[in-house]
Amino acid sequence: MNTTGASTPPTLDGLHLIGASADSWEVIETEIVGTIRLANGATREQRLAPLPGHPVIRRWYGVTLDYRHLGPLGEEIEARLAFPGPHDLTLWKHITLGYIADGTRNEWLLPWRQAPDHLTPPAGAPVTRFAPTVRLGWGTTPIEATFAPNRFHLDIAPPSGTRLIVQVVPLFQMVTASEDHARHYRDAIREPRRIALVETEVL
Amino acid sequence: MPIVATASLIARPPSPGGRGGDGRGGQGVRFYGTVISPLSATLIGQVSRSVVESLAAPSLFYGFAIKLADAWLPPGDVTGPLEIDESLDTPATLFTFTLTGRQYSIHATAATWTATPVEIWVTAGPIGALRTYRRAFGHVITCEQTEGPEPTLRLRCGDPSRRFDRYELCYEFPADAGLTRGAIARQILTDAGFTADVPTGAAYTKPLATDSQKLFPFLQSFCEAEAWSWRLPDWTTVEAYKAILREPPEPPDDIWTLRDVLSIQSTPPSDVPSIWVIRSTQTTEAPEGLKITKQRAETFAFYAIRRATAKQLGDGTHQPLNLPPSAETFQLVAVLETEIHERQGLTVAKITREYGWYNPRAAKLRTLGVTDPPGPIDGYFWAEAYLDEEGSARTWRQESFVQTGERREIPTYDEEGTEIARRLETHKWHSRAMGVRNVGSATPNVIGAGIGDDDLSWYPFDPPTTALLRLEGFGLAQLDQITLKYGENGAVASEVQETSTWYSQRTAVVGVPWFLNASGAGQKDLVANFHLVQRKTTTNTLTEDGLLAGTIETTQGFVAPRRVEGAFDWGDQKSNLEQETWGTTGLKTTLYNVLDESTYEEITDDGTGAQTRLVMGRSPRPRYRASPWTRLVQTPFEIVLEDATTAAWWGPSTEILNLDYLQSPEEARAVAQRRRSRQLAITHTVIRPISPIRPGQTIHLIDPRTGLNHRCLVTRLQERWVLAPRPQILATYTLEQPL
């Protein structure tokens, strides 16, 4: 995967967050899963049944960008956050999704739009670095696949039970997290800002 | 798992599957196999447990969708948990879920609180092997709405059986109709619009009247002897099945160990009755010959026999008797004897006799004869009589223990055993009116009439050889003859009751050739004769189905209408008639309006204006023509099962059950054993992930921690599907482990 670490600054509502580096990115993945502990000590997990064509596991993302000083980004960031969501946010990082083939289906749905389809990567980064990939099974090389907004398809339906591993760079749709933010002004120059956004779904 | 079994195969189409489902439908174990030899009817097959085991995977996916009024509800609108409750003891599957949205408000739609069709389709299984199937279906029963920006409604629903909660049955099956319990249940269910999947069951020989019972409670109690439970596998089918614990060598439906369950809570039996008494009736052929049943009831009480204090002599003087006063002693005061004569199940006579202390009335005055001069007391002579404490003239010195009444009912039947007439004889101490003189005679001129304390003249029963005249005799005092006529629908169309008694027509007191009583009233006969005095004709107004809509009651008797300026003087009135003549004396109409099942309105009109009153209970019903099966009689029976073990464990206690639909002591014994077995069971409440197991199936439950290693019968299942904030889909099973 070409997008390990936090090598590329995020993009918020079309604004590449370049010029001031966040002190930390915190990405929280929420997985809707319940667990029950059986009488023998074993634990079973219970998940929501996916709709046909959807990924087996759908995680929901929350992103917190903590800036000690917004610097030149301050005005534009505040201008964007002066409005309610949804805010488009991409971290320019791949997220991995899993699908199970049923032997007949050759098109599947993606839970997000893909960032490269809508944005130019910041700082001259090559688009190819953020391209989506599809692999059939673990330890295999990517295969040819056609991606469209919110979906992808293969020319031939894989055999039933085949695991499809898909990596995409999502363009999240976010709203502000429901938490209070304290700004600690340590001097007369720096403008601290903590941006906390959580994923929403636009129907 | 290979098995060899003898089985009956019933083909069922798989359920169609829901949104996103695989369409396979169905639940539980699948059988594959071939019948090798049709003659031996042996099936060797292979059991696939893939469905059962698919719900035992470590990671399972769940979801459900709801179809309300044939439209799928948006998943976002279904906010609350889905709960499903089904039991072995009721056909009803109840389920609830929560909706949020203004469009579901009870002010906006009736679909959330009236009997709207609703289906619950669930998806469950490991990824790649998800199954979608219809888990529950039925109608909305009602809802509870919580107001807010978006109303939240908790909808309570039930399977199609709930729509028949208020459906009342109206069936009558004669005894020995050649029907089995299954056939009767099938007929009732088919009439209710269901497809009945009901086994044959035992032949039901008793007569059966459903008598406004509700459909499913009736089926449950009527078929309890067959050990049937009831369920609805689809919208229109009602299935009766036997829910019994499967014993080895048959395998259980599933084996649950600690790896399958979250918890097991066990409760031992308690307070199980030690004596089971079950009462019912059985049909027996009526015995040939005459069967006479006698009953005698004696009443003892403190009673003082009444004795005379003086004797009135022929000259009018009172001679004290100086009898010792009677003391109140505890003694026999009344006897009631009942005698019933039966032949082939029909009552041919019913005789009731009463005995008690009695002293007949005697005359206070008397007449002597035509040639005698008029007596000193208004022309009468003193009679001899015993005077009791109250001064009443009596025949004997003191009361004697004698027969005081006798009533004989003698019905007449036609060839089919229908009662068409009834004769009622009433024997008692009675008097007969007697005249004391001819009309026009100034003084009494009749021989031997007695005048009682009531100043009326009466016939003396004993020969007038002494001066003591007994005015009461024991014998036939009244005769009622009832004749019944039946209509085409079998109900009585008319009833005629003719009453005869000792009576003399009243007459005018001037200018007629008849007699005068001591009271001055005219009477046609010197001594009252026994003849017809009243005829009451009741004509029933019947509905088409033979129920009683009303009656018209006509009464005839002797009557002389009053006329202010009548030609004849009757002493206390005037009339244009010189004597009473036979005519209509009364006409009364009655109408019954049924208001509801427990109230009716009765409107009566006897010529003085209609009167209305509300009556609680059922409106009167006419008598119906009997059927040939009335020759069969139902004999009560009672079985008693005593359980020394439960008596030792919990002390003595008796459970008495009156179960009308049992027809033999053997059935009663089996029912008692089943009830006892269920009460005398250890109850396990098992919480576990959902499974295909349903009430009525057998589970082998193993818990090494407690030594539990037994087969149990599943009696109840409650499922709770919670999807938010995190999925938790659990089932609570109630299992009964017989001791």
> With contacts defined as CB-CB under 8 Å, which chain B residues touch A44?
57-60, 689
**Taking Cα atoms as reference points, which of B630, B621, B625 lies closest to residue B418?**
B625
**pLDDT for position B14:** 38
**Taking Cα atoms as reference points, which of B108, B107, B115, B95 lies closest to residue B156?**
B95
More confident residue, B174 or B227: B227
**pLDDT for position A33:** 94
Distance in angstroms (rounded) separating the CA atoms of residues B544 and B546: 5
Those residues whose C-beta lies under 8 Å from the C-beta of residue A127, and which sit 6 or more positions away, are A116, A120, A121
The beta-strand segments (E) located in B159-200 are 172-173, 195-197
**pLDDT for position A49:** 92
Distance in angstroms (rounded) separating the CA atoms of residues A154 and A134: 9
Distance in angstroms (rounded) separating the CA atoms of residues A148 and A46: 31
Mutate to test the interface with B, among A44, A46, A60, A105 (most CBs of B within 10 A): A46
Question: Over the stretch B668-723, which tens digit does the pLDDT of each residue have?
Answer: 999 999 999 999 999 999 999 999 999 999 999 999 999 999 999 999 999 999 99
Query: Are B472 and B419 within 8 A, CB to CB?
Result: no
Q: Which residue from A minimizes the CA distance to B60?
A: A46
Question: Over the stretch B552-569, which tens digit does the pLDDT of each residue have?
Answer: 999 999 999 888 888 899
Question: Over the stretch B339-366, which tens digit does the pLDDT of each residue have?
Answer: 998 887 788 999 999 999 999 999 999 9
Long-range CB pairs of B483-489, under 8 A, 24+ apart, other chains included = B483/B420, B483/B421, B484/B419, B484/B420, B484/B421, B484/B422, B484/B623, B485/B420, B486/B418, B486/B420, B486/B624, B486/B625, B487/B540, B487/B542, B487/B546, B489/B542, B489/B544, B489/B545, B489/B546
Buried b / exposed e across B244-263, counting CB within 10 Å, b at 16+? ebeeeeeebbbebbbebbbe
> With contacts defined as CB-CB under 8 Å, which chain B residues touch A56?
127
Q: Which residue from A minimizes the CA distance to B20?
A: A52
Band of pLDDT at residue B28, cut at 50, 70 and 90: very low
Contact call for B727 and A47, based on CB within 8 A: yes
Mutate to test the interface with A, among B22, B59, B690 (most CBs of A within 10 A): B59
Band of pLDDT at residue B2, cut at 50, 70 and 90: very low
Which whole number is the average pLDDT over B650-663?
89
Distance in angstroms (rounded) separating the CA atoms of residues B211 and B173: 11
Q: How far is CA A131 from CA A66, A124, B13, in A?
A: 28, 15, 48
**pLDDT for position B25:** 35
More confident residue, B618 or B20: B618
Question: Over the stretch B576-592, which tens digit does the pLDDT of each residue have?
Answer: 999 999 999 999 999 99
What residue type is B621 in one-letter code?
A: R
The alpha-carbon gap from A199 to the nearest alpha carbon of chain B, in Å, equals 16
Is B12's pLDDT higher than 50?
A: no
Burial of B449 (0-12, 13-18, 19+ CB in 10 A): buried
The alpha-carbon gap from A34 to the nearest alpha carbon of chain B, in Å, equals 5
Contact call for A46 and B62, based on CB within 8 A: yes
Is B128's pLDDT higher than 70?
A: yes
Does residue A56 belong to the interface with chain B, where contact is any CB pair within 8 Å? yes
**pLDDT for position B405:** 95
**pLDDT for position B45:** 64
Question: Over the stretch B77-126, which tens digit does the pLDDT of each residue have?
Answer: 998 799 999 999 988 899 999 999 999 999 999 999 999 999 999 999 99
Distance in angstroms (rounded) separating the CA atoms of residues A193 and A70: 7
**pLDDT for position A7:** 81
Distance in angstroms (rounded) separating the CA atoms of residues B361 and B48: 97
Contact call for B728 and A47, based on CB within 8 A: no
Query: Are B421 and B412 within 8 A, CB to CB?
Result: yes
Contact call for A50 and B264, based on CB within 8 A: no
**ω into B665 cis (within 30 of 0):** no
Contact call for A38 and B726, based on CB within 8 A: no
More confident residue, B724 or A202: B724
Band of pLDDT at residue B489, cut at 50, 70 and 90: confident
Name which of A48, A56, A102 is nearest B727 (Cβ-Cβ).
A48
Is B501's pLDDT higher than 90?
A: yes
Q: Three-state DSSP class for B673?
A: helix
Which whole number is the average pLDDT over A65-89?
90
Domains in chain B (CATH in brackets) are 2-163 (no CATH), 166-242 (3.55.50.10), 245-269+680-739 (2.30.300.10), 282-616 (no CATH)
pTM of the model: 0.64
Interchain CB contacts (distance < 8 Å): A and B = 74
**pLDDT for position B629:** 53
Q: Which residue from B minimizes the CA distance to A43?
A: B58
Distance in angstroms (rounded) separating the CA atoms of residues A38 and B262: 4
Q: Average model confidence (pLDDT) for chain A?
A: 91
> With contacts defined as CB-CB under 8 Å, which chain B residues touch A38?
258-262
**pLDDT for position B38:** 53
For helices B215-222 and B181-191, give the axis angle rounded to 10 degrees. 170
Distance in angstroms (rounded) separating the CA atoms of residues A4 and A26: 14
Question: Over the stretch B440-449, which tens digit does the pLDDT of each residue have?
Answer: 888 888 888 9
Query: Are B236 and B195 within 8 A, CB to CB?
Result: yes
**Residues of chain B above pLDDT 70, percent:** 91
Q: Which residue from A minimizes the CA distance to B63?
A: A49
Which whole number is the average pLDDT over A99-116?
94
Is B23's pLDDT higher than 80?
A: no
**Residues of chain B above pLDDT 90, percent:** 59
**Taking Cα atoms as reference points, which of B275, B175, B124, B228 lies closest to residue B645?**
B275
**pLDDT for position B440:** 87
Distance in angstroms (rounded) separating the CA atoms of residues B285 and B369: 65
Band of pLDDT at residue B211, cut at 50, 70 and 90: confident
**pLDDT for position B40:** 58
Which whole number is the average pLDDT over A66-86?
89
Which whole number is the average pLDDT over B215-240?
92
Distance in angstroms (rounded) separating the CA atoms of residues A123 and B234: 65
> With contacts defined as CB-CB under 8 Å, which chain A residues touch B725?
32
Name which of A36, A42, A47 is nearest B61 (Cβ-Cβ).
A47
Q: What is the largest CA-CA distance in chain A?
A: 64
Q: Which residue from B minimizes the CA distance to A50?
A: B61
Which whole number is the average pLDDT over A4-24?
86
Is A79's pLDDT higher than 90?
A: yes
Q: How far is CA B685 from CA B243, B349, B739, in A?
A: 19, 62, 16
| Chain B residues touching chain A at CB-CB below 8 Å | 20, 57-63, 123-124, 127-128, 130, 257-264, 689, 703, 723-730
Query: Are B131 and B13 within 8 A, CB to CB?
Result: no
> With contacts defined as CB-CB under 8 Å, which chain B residues touch A32?
724-727
The alpha-carbon gap from A49 to the nearest alpha carbon of chain B, in Å, equals 4
Name which of B20, B57, B63 is nearest A48 (Cβ-Cβ).
B63
Residues belonging to chain B: 739
Which whole number is the average pLDDT over B430-457?
90
Name which of B59, B123, B263 is nearest A45 (Cβ-Cβ).
B59
**pLDDT for position B359:** 95
> End-to-end alpha-carbon separation of chain A, Å?
30
**Taking Cα atoms as reference points, which of B133, B188, B200, B131 lies closest to residue B164?**
B188
Is B18's pLDDT higher than 50?
A: no
Which whole number is the average pLDDT over B159-179?
87
> How many CB atoms lie under 10 A from the CB of residue B442?
8
Contact call for A49 and B260, based on CB within 8 A: no
Q: What ipTM was reported for this prediction? A: 0.87
Those residues whose C-beta lies under 8 Å from the C-beta of residue B507, and which sit 6 or more positions away, are B439, B514, B515, B522, B523, B524, B570, B578, B579, B580
**pLDDT for position B13:** 36
Q: Average model confidence (pLDDT) for chain B?
A: 87
Question: Over the stretch B139-164, which tens digit does the pLDDT of each residue have?
Answer: 999 999 998 888 999 999 999 998 88
Question: Over the stretch A162-181, which tens digit does the pLDDT of each residue have?
Answer: 999 999 999 999 999 987 78
Question: Over the stretch B29-85, which tens digit does the pLDDT of each residue have?
Answer: 455 555 555 555 566 666 667 777 788 889 999 999 999 999 999 988 998 799 999
More confident residue, B629 or B172: B172
More confident residue, A6 or B321: B321
Distance in angstroms (rounded) separating the CA atoms of residues B506 and B555: 18
Distance in angstroms (rounded) separating the CA atoms of residues B219 and B196: 12
The alpha-carbon gap from A175 to the nearest alpha carbon of chain B, in Å, equals 19
**Taking Cα atoms as reference points, which of B402, B289, B297, B411 lies closest to residue B350?**
B411
Q: How far is CA B173 from CA A34, B246, B419, B543, B629, in A?
A: 57, 35, 21, 21, 11
**Taking Cα atoms as reference points, which of B730, B629, B737 lies closest to residue B682?**
B737
Is A146's pLDDT higher than 90?
A: yes
Tokens of A80: 């964007």
Band of pLDDT at residue B20, cut at 50, 70 and 90: very low
Q: Which residue from B minimizes the CA distance to A37?
A: B262
Name which of A46, A52, A56 is nearest B127 (Cβ-Cβ).
A56
Chain centroid offset of residue A26 CA: 12
**pLDDT for position B733:** 97
**pLDDT for position B4:** 52
